[in-house]
Amino acid sequence: MNRWYKIIGWHVLVALCAWWLWTVGQHATFNAITGIDIQIPSLSAFLFLTAIIVLGYIMFQQRRWSLSISGIIGLFFMLTFGWTWLNSLAVVAVLLFNLWSANRVRREINERRVLNIPDAFYHGLMPVVLGLFVMVSFAAYQSPLLAQIKTADQLPNQAKVFFQQIVESTVGQKIQAATPTQRQQLISEISSQTFQQFNQFLKPYFQYAPPVLAFGLFLILWGLSFLFVWLAAAVGLFLFWVLKKVRVVRIEEKDVKAQVLVI
């Protein structure tokens, strides 16, 4: 198969996976406590997209392809979430991370006499994963839930349940009541009063909630990045094995010249 056909096919696959990721990703829910509620379709799209991107960097070993790949990802991202300066900034971040990834992959392959494909995937995946995490965080910043928090008069109802659980686990056993029902009513009253006091204290700062929670989401995802990298590496190695089986790629031994220092 002609090399250019392979490059075009790679770009088409990236476009399909990017469309898949942002289409299913816009329906994901944002959890202000634990981060984003990751679902199987969005996780699968994320893993395939990152694996295919780095697989292309390994196969073609040209840094310039990071420009077109980033452009494709950014195009579908902005078509989904809007043409704003904030989203443009996310696209620039992805471009820089992809350029870094392509450079790391190229160096990893060229500086080895024996190809180590798993290491090439590992070195290339981390920047790509972090770049997409930036986009996910920017998308979360624009989510309806964060917009509601910004203009809300109180914390989400999930927080009220959280306060009640804290009261029950800390002072619940010390509350004296004639019946379990009365005891539960007292716990609910204490947690409700505590909830209202927190709302009064935090209300002036609700307008700053979206950027804080979006940045918190990025930190959470960053902490889990090693898991995404290993999962994407497994997907990428499987795809590489398939390409070898169908003879789209192959590994050959060649004699190469090496530089030596002469004194």
pLDDT at 198 over 70: no
pLDDT at 203 over 90: no
Helices (H) and strands (E) in the chain, counts: 10, 2
Q: For 29, phi and psi rounded to 5 degrees?
A: -100, 145
- Asked if 204 and 19 count as a contact pair (C-beta separation under 8 A), the reply is no
Question: DSSP characters for 74-143?
Answer: HHHHHHHH-S-HHHHHHHHHHHHHHHHHHHHHHHHHHT-SS--HHHHHHHHHHHHHHHHHHHHHHHHHTS
Flag whether the pTM goes above 0.75.
no
pLDDT at 13 over 70: yes
Output the pLDDT for position 24: 81
Most confident among 50-54, 147-151, 178-182 (mean pLDDT)? 50-54
Domain ranges of the chain: 3-143+225-245, 149-205
Taking alpha carbons only, the member of 133, 108, 137, 14 closest to residue 70 is 14
Half-sphere exposure of residue 58: CA atoms within 13 angstroms, side-chain side: 26
For residues 58 and 240, give the distance between their C-alpha atoms in angstroms, rounded to a whole number. 10
pLDDT in tens, 204-260: 555 555 566 666 667 777 777 888 899 999 999 999 999 888 888 877 777 766 666
- Asked if 42 and 25 count as a contact pair (C-beta separation under 8 A), the reply is yes
pLDDT in tens, 145-178: 555 555 555 555 555 665 566 666 665 566 666 6
pLDDT at 68 over 80: yes
